[in-house]
Structure 1
Amino acid sequence: MELTTFWFILIGVLWTGYFFLEGFDFGVGMLLHPLGRTETDRRILINTIGPVWDGNEVWLITAGGATFAAFPNWYATLFSGFYLALFLILIALIVRGVAFEYRGKVDSARWRQRWDLCIAFGSWVPAVLWGVAFANIVAGVPINRHGDFTGTFFTLLNPFALLGGAVTASLFLLHGLHFVALKTEGPIHDRAKLAAQRVAPVAIVLGAVFLIWNQVERGAGWTWGPVLVAAVALVASLVAIRAGRDGWAFTATGIAIAAAMIALFGGLYPDVMPSSTDPAFSLTVHNASSTAYTLRIMSWVAAIMTPVVLAYQAWSYWVFRRRIGERHIPAVHVPGQP
């Protein structure tokens, strides 16, 4: 296998890991108000992801760094052309991270409510815009012969991309509901299960339309397999949550995310960023890559460090594997009450 192909696959794996892990904690943030009826409920929700949310973002940093090092021309075109969308995602992630740290710093209901809104904002915006960005990457954007993006921010807001944003938002919301059902007990667990049964049909329909549209327009023959796997996994998640199998439901949405990413990256290869202006101007794994020497050095670093990172993250999830309920949340003082 060529190193350019290897790194294309590895970057796809990194983005898949990011969407699998960050997807459910985006979902929890999106659910903070719909499921969190009381301060205790909201603290339960935040505590389900409290030990892991920042570790999940390592996958984003690694994916971005790998793209910069392995495919600098892809990185340059992507981050210049999608600058505003990626800037909004960055702002949302910063606001979200600060909100997690600061919501408990002051004993005030209004203070906490404001930071809770920031958590919701910082979860919804990336959940939508990542779908918009990836839909544009696979569909193609206007790129000239020099590899420069020639569109505007509004070029990215086309019907296919907006559908992609709706798909990622609904899928992350469902993934988050399954995670909440898996990690909690009591009334909030029951509400998460009920909400998952309502959200699942929406995610299934939106995901099916998006993936079939992509397949018909630009998909490879073999990528129909991952599309079918994604569809079956989403239906299986609905069956599992109704049967009370929370772990299987969460696993099923994770499989759906992975299968969808395989279908999208599989249909994209060997391009990394197709040009809608002229296919000859498209960026590929060959004309957008670094030198062979750079890719060899990166491969050795990845071979050494990736198992270490995976082992550490697996250990952290194992340590914090138990369910959380009201009995684990210390009483909180509500201003105005004795």
Structure 2
Amino acid sequence: MTITSILRRTFYLFLAVTPCYVAVVHAQSEATGDLTLAAPYGIPPAVFNASISRTVRQSAVYVPGYNLSAPEGFGPSGNGSAVVGWQLGVAVADNVPLTNAAAPGINTAKVIDATTLWLQAPLGVEFLNSTAWKLCATVFPYVNMSAAMQGGENVERRTAVSDSSDSSDSVSGDDSRQNNGNCGAWLTDQCAAALNENALAYGTGADGSCYNMTVPQSCTPFFMHGHGNGTAVVLDKNTLADGRFYAWGSAPTSGDDTAALNSALSHVWPVLLTWIQFGQDGKVFTANSHVSCLAASSNGTGTATERGTFTSAGKPGPVPNQGLAALFATALALLM
């Protein structure tokens, strides 16, 4: 297979209740929505979920959030629905087998490193009032890590360690850095502010729809050329119950590839959460967006108890979600 064919764009979109995954042959692959029904590279979800229970490292940060159970138009400009305790997390598992993967041309004898993103609500506000609220996450997988890691101020801020950091949990020498979700440590404050503004201006429709979003001009140095789009994922009641909403598969590799694992652990994940509240007239009452940046190799401010049907690192997961309804699935066309 030639280099051209290896990098050829390939994607699959399954309609109605069928989840979707996006695959670039021998490059990377993503899956969105209910991960009990979809996995990168078309790996059977049961195989994928059993494999990612062996999490190498995970991290979580507290993020601004709202009471999704609140009624329509509740609170002045929606602020009356603000609550603390929402956590956004990232987890990385290694040596996930490509056995029976559906992506064409894939070497099923290879493995991948899998990254999953999840969101956990504080108790009592996790029940979605779908007539009053819509929650969308926009994930930007193609961060330019070379640019993100440059700059004396950024390096100093990234390596600041909080008093609560546990050095015994380190995976590598740089794992002691503390991350509170502030993207300014990697993408600059100007870029993070522009992402928040663009999410409301271009990533959200007047009817509450959420769209894939292109990064603003001030952010382009921090994203790979030609890969600046973000994937928008609607977090419905099923996805919120499970917690996990996004999975990313690395390029296929041989087992125990230390370099590939370190790359997955240190990768920065900008995630925009857009909270849309409707009024009693069915129109958008208020919308709030906030971008956070995660890396599994950084110590987060949250509890880092991974969400999902399966346990991880000896920590119990929530009760499995058995009621599978019609799901939202979104696909990102990966450009060459």
Q: Please give the TM-score of this superposition, normalised by the length of structure 2.
A: 0.29
Structure whose residues are more often helix by fraction: 1
Highest CA radius of gyration, 1 or 2?
1
The one of the two structures with greater contact order (alpha-carbon pairs below 8 A, sep at least 6) is 2
Which structure has more strand as a fraction of its residues? Answer: 2
TM-score of the superposition, structure 1-length normalised? 0.29
